[in-house]
Amino acid sequence: MWFLVDTELDDYIASPASFAAIIADRRRVHAALSERIPPFFLAGQAPPLDEWERRDAILDSVDEGEVLTGLPGCLGVARGRARVVTDPADPRGLEPGDVLIAPITDPSWTPLFVPAEAVVVDVGAVMSHAVIVSRELGIPCAVSVTDATRKIPDGAIIEVDGSTGTVTVISLP
């Protein structure tokens, strides 16, 4: 049923077997899309699927002293241990003084901001959830630090400058 559109449901109920090829093709497309990262920004037509980055692509690792740049979120500078969290239900040992590194945030992430010294997100803008909560709590925040969750290793010591949107890798684990 999840691979059908609403206008197909009555026909599917009448003859499920007639939709076998359609459903198989849609499952194939779904699987192919699941292996790729959608483009962050589109201007005009979306690039062909084979040009989208693979989710399992290995990125160059960061070096000590490397600076990742995003957008300013909330003013201030903080230093702490990076905790890469990709699911708010599994904070993976986030402790007071750590820097929360997340793909994007929504209200379900809010409790994780409380112990964080700073917040860094892969995707965000000046009015995004991460920025609003960071400002309310008075902790530095950098947003749109592309691939931060994939580049910054969990446990690295980093410095977040929320005024410039930069994240500096101080030392690696």
135: left (phi over 0), alpha (psi -120 to 50) or beta: alpha
Residue 62 lies in a domain: no
Instruction: Label residue 1 by pLDDT band (50, 70, 90).
Output: low
Cα separations (Å) of 165 from 3, 25, 99? 41, 43, 14
The pLDDT mean for the chain works out to 94
Coil, strand or helix: which one is 24? helix
Domain harbouring 124, CATH code: 3.50.30.10
| Residues 66 and 169 sit within 8 Å (Cβ to Cβ) | yes
Domain check: are 81 and 155 in the same one? yes
Instruction: Label residue 23 by pLDDT band (50, 70, 90).
Output: very high
Domain check: are 48 and 75 in the same one? no
Domain check: are 131 and 100 in the same one? yes
Domain check: are 128 and 152 in the same one? yes
Residue in the structure block whose two tokens are 């160059």: 60
The phi, psi pair for 152, rounded to 5°, reads -85, 120
Residue 92 lies in a domain: yes
Residue 1 lies in a domain: no
**pLDDT > 90: percent of the chain:** 82
The pLDDT value recorded for residue 119 is 98
Domain check: are 23 and 90 in the same one? no
Cα separations (Å) of 103 from 12, 150, 169? 38, 9, 18
Per-residue pLDDT averaged across 41-70, rounded?
Answer: 88
Residue 94 lies in a domain: yes
Residue 41 belongs to domain spanning: 6-54
Number of domains in the chain: 2
Domain check: are 71 and 128 in the same one? yes
Residue 129 is among the residues annotated as catalytic for this protein:
yes
The pLDDT value recorded for residue 55 is 84
Burial letters for 25-63: b for 16+ Cβ neighbours within 10 Å, e otherwise? eeeeeeeeeeebeeeeeeeeeeeeeeebeeeeeeeeebe
Q: Which of 129, 133, 145, 169 is catalytic?
A: 129
- Closest by alpha carbon to 89, among 71, 108, 103? 108
What does the CA dihedral 19, 24, 27, 32 come to, rounded to 10 degrees?
Answer: -140
Domain check: are 156 and 71 in the same one? yes
Domain check: are 72 and 49 in the same one? no
Per-residue pLDDT averaged across 69-79, rounded?
Answer: 97
Domain check: are 72 and 46 in the same one? no
Report the amino acid identity of residue 20.
Answer: A
The pLDDT value recorded for residue 58 is 80
- In tens, the pLDDT along 128-145 reads 999 999 999 999 999 999
Domain check: are 41 and 117 in the same one? no
